[in-house]
Amino acid sequence: LINISLISKKSDERSEAQSLQKKMESFQFVLMLSVWENILRPLHGVSKMLQRDMNLQNARDRLKDVYYLINELRNNYEDIVNNAKSLCLRWRLPVTYTEPRQIYAKKTF
């Protein structure tokens, strides 16, 4: 994205690359990546297992394991936030949460 924003001749490409870069360098983005990584990693393994021939008992057990894991993630949300903060510090990104700007609609009656 940095290369596109510096090299591109088209202003809309540069603008979009800079916008994406700004969003990707935010704490919210890193936190979202951490949450999704913790959810999708175990689901991917179970999904691969369910695509093969498997008896129903094993399939039920694997799905139950994932269910419990996701419930544990809900209870350990602070650990995920701390992990995202440490990633931001390692990558030298700001660890501040910015509120999105309110969108106001003009009322025409």
Q: Does residue 1 register a pLDDT over 70?
A: no
Residue 103 covered by a domain: no
Q: Does residue 6 register a pLDDT over 80?
A: no
Three-state SS string over the chain comes to CHHHHHHCCCHHHHHHHHHHHHHHCCHHHHHHHHHHHHHHHHHHHHHHHHHCCCCHHHHHHHHHHHHHHHHHHHHCHHHHHHHHHHHHHHCCCCCCCCCCCCCCCCCCC
Per the structure, the count of domains in the chain is 1
| Alpha carbons 91 and 8: distance in angstroms, whole number | 26
Residue 45 covered by a domain: yes
* pLDDT tens per residue, range 44-95: 988 888 888 878 888 899 899 999 998 998 899 999 999 999 999 998 998 8
Q: What is the pLDDT of residue 33?
A: 94
* pLDDT tens per residue, range 28-47: 999 999 999 999 998 898 88
Residue 83 covered by a domain: yes
Q: Does residue 24 register a pLDDT over 80?
A: yes
Residue 97 covered by a domain: no
Residue 73 covered by a domain: yes
Residue 102 covered by a domain: no
pTM passes above 0.85: no
Query: What is the rounded average pLDDT for all residues in the chain?
Result: 86
Q: What is the pLDDT of residue 16?
A: 86
Q: Which domain holds residue 51?
A: 25-90
Q: What is the pLDDT of residue 68?
A: 93
Residue 19 covered by a domain: no
Q: How far is CA 37 from each of CA 19, 61, 62, 73, 84, rounded to the nearest angstrom? A: 23, 22, 18, 11, 11
